[in-house]
């Protein structure tokens, strides 16, 4: 792990999402919702990584905004998986806590990036 908090946390979250996908497929035989959460949940970290190495401040801001949108989508799929009993409330709460932290960090980064570009 490096010294970039958002990059580190989004990578660790992606690992949890990959493990959730494996669980949903192997234990619950769920293939549609699990693919959706895999896509958006891992995309958060991928966009953060791209943004960190972006070509410009505008590129950085754009990638962080995309990561924030992916995090919001991940929140939706987590809630749906919980509401349909594919995951337990404890599993959902644990993932939601990590996601809430990412959402807070990304929101702050996006606000700062926007104000710095003016």
Domains and CATH numbers, the chain: 5-116 (1.20.1440.60)
The 10s digit of each residue's pLDDT in 28-84 is: 999 999 999 999 999 999 999 999 998 999 999 999 999 999 999 999 999 999 999
Which stretches within the chain are classed as H helix? 5-28, 32-52, 57-83, 89-116
The 10s digit of each residue's pLDDT in 14-27 is: 999 999 999 999 99
Q: Among candidates 36, 116, 18, 104, which has minimal Cα distance to 74?
A: 36
User: What sign does the dihedral 36-41-46-47 (CA atoms) show?
Assistant: positive
pTM: 0.95
Q: Given the structure tokens 């905004």, which residue do they identify?
A: 65
Would you tell me the crossing angle of helices 57-83 and 5-28 to the nearest 10 degrees?
Answer: 30
């Amino acid at each position: 792990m490096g010294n970039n908090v958002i990059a580190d946390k989004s990578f660790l979250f992606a690992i949890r999402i990959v493990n959730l996908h494996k669980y949903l497929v192997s234990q619950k035989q769920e293939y549609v919702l699990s693919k959706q959460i895999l896509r958006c949940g891992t995309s958060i970290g991928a966009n953060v990584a791209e943004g960190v190495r972006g070509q410009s401040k505008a590129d950085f801001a754009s990638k962080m905004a995309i990561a924030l949108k992916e995090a919001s989508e991940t929140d939706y799929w987590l809630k749906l998986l919980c509401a349909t009993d594919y995951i337990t409330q404890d599993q959902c709460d644990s993932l939601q806590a990590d996601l809430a932290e990412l959402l807070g960090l990304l929101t702050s980064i996006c606000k700062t990036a926007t104000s710095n570009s003016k």
